Amino acid sequence: MIKPQTLKGFRDFLPQEARKRQYVIDILKKVFESYGFEPLETPALEYEEILLGKYGEEGDKLMYRFVDRGGRKVALRYDQTVPLARVVAQYQNELPMPFKRYQIQNVWRADNTQKGRFREFLQCDADIVGTDSPLADAETIMITAKSLEKLGFKNFKILINDRNIFSQLVKQDICEEKEIPVVIRAVDKLKKNGKEAVIKELFSKGLTQKRATTTLQCVVVMQETERLKEIFLLLQQYGLKNDKDFVFSPTLARGLDYYTGIIFEVEIEGYTAGSVCGGGRYDKLIGMFSKQDIPAVGFSFGFDRLIEAMDELNLFPTNILSSTTKVLVTVFNKNLLEKSISCSTSLRSAGVQTEIYLDENAKMEKQLKYADKKGIPYAIIIGPNEASKNMVTIRNMKTREQKKVSEEKIILTVNSS
């Protein structure tokens, strides 16, 4: 017999996990839509040439690629930004500009699996394409904050920087232009690995020990750019507080090469596994399939980390954790089945999520056990006694308390709990 198993790095989501995911997705969508972002879906498979060479050497290596039966070289979606760039080029006359879209789909990366890293995972992106206004930068950050607030996070901080800050190093003759990417990549690891490690990496990349040290010292004390000042003012007008909700962070560098302006990450108090959200401005990327540069700014929620952080901080409402069913109508016997059907139908018509136990021959004990296993709060029993009086017995599955009530009273009892 074939062993039932999933591939390494791939996951099943059983009902409880699937409900938690849906809960988060629904909230994010609602926030995104309240700011006028619109949904976009792109295919799982793309022509390989669309994706290849866009994510650096590492990306090409981790991409799931194969040749289809028609001989086409194809690849599975690796992120949602390159497909967005393709869409913007392909439908430019149909799309409103600025184009504000969100996209919540799986991506696939054949990465080494480890805690919190999977080969199939959900990305939640929102991006604004076609404007280089600081207002777009501020709105992007605002949406991040609003999303976390709606998910129930109370204490989080948005770290903000501007990639252009690093050009100060060139102006002050500390680094050469071509060293900036090296500096960014090294500084990106400051929080994780510490100062020593950053200096060591800069040294290994050809900076003298002295220049490596000076570079890092300089980065740490650098001042906000004019652009950042403008964005911070807008954020305050949006209602965010400087130093409390957001903070200037000159050592924030972000790993991705393609950022050209503002960059930001979100840290959640009490959750130490890393940032749950990151984003920034990238004005040279979206135009890759068009003839001209198209400015863009956006962010991506790390969905698995978000779920993990919410789990750790107990932010899921308890009703998400068990079945959405409110009432199980049991079946006493085949003769009384009709009574149970009619009761379940009225409850459902009244908007109560209701199950009828789907085996008219099962013992009552088994039926109640089913309610327990699914976490259904109430069970209804309609035996001959109840049926003759046009009543039902309602059982609170937690307290095991039972009482006889009329059918109309069920809804009151269920809704009052």
Does residue number 4 form part of the binding site for a copy of itself (CB under 8 A)? yes
For the bound state, the minimum distance from the C-beta of residue 90 to a copy of itself, rounded and expressed in Å, comes to 4
Binding mask 205-244 for a copy of itself (x = CB under 8 A): -----------------------------x--xxx-----
Range in contact with a copy of itself (rule: CB under 8 A) among 19-27, 176-184, 220-228, 393-401:
19-27
**Binding track, positions 62-91, relative to a copy of itself; x by CB under 8 A:** --x-xxxxx-x-x-x---------xx-xxx
Which tokens in the block code for residue 102? Answer: 């969100």
Distance, CA of 290 to chain centre = 29
Query: Least distance to a copy of itself from the beta carbon of 376, Å?
Result: 8
Select 65 or 205, whichever has its Cβ closest to a copy of itself. Answer: 65
Count of residues near a copy of itself by CB under 8 A: 95
> Is the bond into 98 cis (omega within 30 degrees of 0)?
yes
Tokens, residue 366? 């088994």
Site for a copy of itself in 257-316 (CB under 8 A): 288-289, 291
The two structure tokens encoding residue 323: 């079945």
Residue 257 tokens read as 């090469």
> Residue 264 in contact with residue 160, Cβ under 8 Å?
yes
Reported as type and span, the H/E element at residue 368 is helix 364-374
Q: Is 123 in the site for a copy of itself (CB under 8 A)?
A: no
Nearer of residues 44 and 190 to a copy of itself, judged by Cβ: 44
Length of the chain measured in residues:
417
Residues 265, 156 contacting (CB under 8 angstroms): no
Return the range that interacts with a copy of itself (CB under 8 A); candidates 160-168, 171-179, 308-316, 349-357: 349-357
Whose Cβ is closer to a copy of itself: residue 203's or residue 289's? 289
**Residue 324 in the binding site for a copy of itself (CB under 8 A):** yes
Q: Maximum CA pair distance of the chain?
A: 94
Q: Quote the CA–CA distance of 313 and 302 in Å, as a whole number.
A: 16
Using CB under 8 A as the binding rule, whether residue 253 contacts a copy of itself is answered as: no
The pattern of x and - marking residues 356 through 375 that bind a copy of itself according to CB under 8 A reads: x-xxxx--------x--xx-
Nearest to 246 by CA among 147, 127, 138, 168: 138
For residue 67, the minimal CB distance to a copy of itself (Å) is 8
Contact between residue 13 and residue 21 where contact means Cβ atoms under 8 Å apart:
yes
Does position 10 interact with a copy of itself (CB under 8 A)? The reply is yes
Quote the crossing angle between the two packed helices 134-151 and 226-237, to the nearest 10°: 50
